[in-house]
A = this chain, B = another copy of it.
Amino acid sequence: MTGAPPPRHATIEDVARAAGVSRAAVSKVLRNAYGVSDGMRERVTAAMAELNYRPRIAARAMRGRTYTLGIELPDLANHFFARIARGATSALEGTPYQLIIAPAEAGSREGLRALEALVDRQVDGVIAVSPRVDEAGLERISGSVPVVMFGRHDTSDRYDVVAGDDAAGARAAMQHLFDLGHRRIAHLTLHESGAFEPFPHGVRLREYEAAMDAAGLGERAMVWRTDEGEGPSAEVVRRMLADGTTATAVFAAHDELAFGAMRAASEAGVPLAVVGYDDVPMASHPGLGLTTVHQPGEAMGARAVEMLLERIAGRTEPMHEIFEIELKVRTSTRAPSG
């Protein structure tokens, strides 16, 4: 090197020149392809190090892989999704793949937007977490890139599915409340636009209603609807409490909503048994002690990645994997009059 380092990124051409070989040779070394002598590999490797060479993903993308997997997440504020992402990331360790996250935020069209952003960037595979996207959109996407659908319970022969056993989870939650003697149990869930089957919340809602029916409490069913997040949830429960609801217990569709319910009940000084769903880390905090349905988020995220990698490697038969849940009983359902 003579003077300052080149301001521009080194290309495969630069490496080839420095090593005195052809671009094709460098490319082969890069990809561990067949047909390179040890001597050549050595020189090329040295030149790459010397020039601090890094292949440009965009150029690669024009011909083949991007070595990028994308995951669409609906709500960064929900810690359960962070666990999925962590599981996915750790499953990628030691592989040449990199995970990128596309946040979807609220809004029914946002899921599609995020997914398409990922496809536009030519990721080699996509994990779609509870995407609010209709079948047509999903089929289209899975036509151009391997997809693992996370959370939803509709299956397809075009993509794989990883989900928790929401029916069992909801039943366990309700059974627990019944066992404790509760009869006036409300279900706190998202608005109609977010809580219908095949979405997890839709399944949980269905099982709530089925459980109430089976217990002969069908006409006492109370479904409370809220916007996403702990704040809106607390607001809704605050209003229910102020309106003098007779509910003694709440089965919340996920932990964030449950925390909101606990907040409202605590503020109002009203005893209210609360069960959540997911078992985010804070649920076990002594100050909260939220009884909840545990889902193995990390394991599920890791499995989703494995499935994607298998698809990329050539598998074509669709897979559908349901993870077991586990009820975690804590103080939120053991409070004085809970």
Residues of A within 8 A of B (CB): 7, 9, 54-59, 61-62, 66, 68, 70, 76-77, 79, 82-83, 85-86, 89-90, 98-103, 105, 116-117, 119-122, 143-144, 230-231, 259, 262-263, 266-267, 281-282, 285-289
Let me know if B66 and A76 touch, CB within 8 A: no
Q: How far is the CA of A122 from the CA of B101 in the complex (A)?
A: 16
Let me know if A76 and B68 touch, CB within 8 A: no
Having A57-B58, A66-B121, A77-B86, one finds 11 other A-B pairs with CB under 8 Å, namely A9-B144, A76-B86, A77-B82, A85-B103, A89-B103, A100-B100, A100-B117, A100-B121, A230-B281, A287-B287, A287-B288
Note all chain B residues with C-beta closer than 8 A to A56. Answer: 61, 120, 122
Q: How far is the CA of A266 from the CA of B285 in the complex (A)?
A: 9
Let me know if B281 and A263 touch, CB within 8 A: no
Note all chain B residues with C-beta closer than 8 A to A285. Answer: 230, 259, 262-263, 287-288
Task: Say which residue of B99, B120, B263, B287 sits within 8 Å of A54 (CB atoms).
Answer: B120
Let me know if A98 and B117 touch, CB within 8 A: yes
Chain A to chain B contacts (Cβ below 8 Å), 18 pairs:
A9-B144, A55-B120, A57-B122, A76-B85, A77-B82, A77-B86, A85-B103, A86-B103, A89-B103, A98-B102, A99-B103, A100-B102, A101-B101, A231-B281, A263-B287, A266-B287, A285-B287, A288-B288
Q: How far is the CA of A121 from the CA of B122 in the complex (A)?
A: 11
Note all chain B residues with C-beta closer than 8 A to A259. Answer: 282, 285
Note all chain B residues with C-beta closer than 8 A to A103. Answer: 85-86, 89, 99, 101
Note all chain B residues with C-beta closer than 8 A to A57. Answer: 58, 120-122
Q: How far is the CA of A82 from the CA of B100 in the complex (A)?
A: 15
State the copy count for this chain. 2
Q: How far is the CA of A282 from the CA of B259 in the complex (A)?
A: 9
- Smallest CB-CB separation from A281: which chain B residue? B230
Let me know if A116 and B54 touch, CB within 8 A: yes
Let me know if B287 and A262 touch, CB within 8 A: yes
Contact (A122, B77) CB under 8 Å given A105-B86, A281-B230: no
- Smallest CB-CB separation from A120: which chain B residue? B57
Minimum CB–CB distance for A316 against chain B, Å: 15
Q: How far is the CA of A70 from the CA of B68 in the complex (A)?
A: 14
Minimum CB–CB distance for A113 against chain B, Å: 8
Minimum CB–CB distance for A10 against chain B, Å: 11
Note all chain B residues with C-beta closer than 8 A to A267. Answer: 286
Minimum CB–CB distance for A30 against chain B, Å: 13
Q: How far is the CA of A287 from the CA of B289 in the complex (A)?
A: 9
Let me know if A77 and B281 touch, CB within 8 A: yes
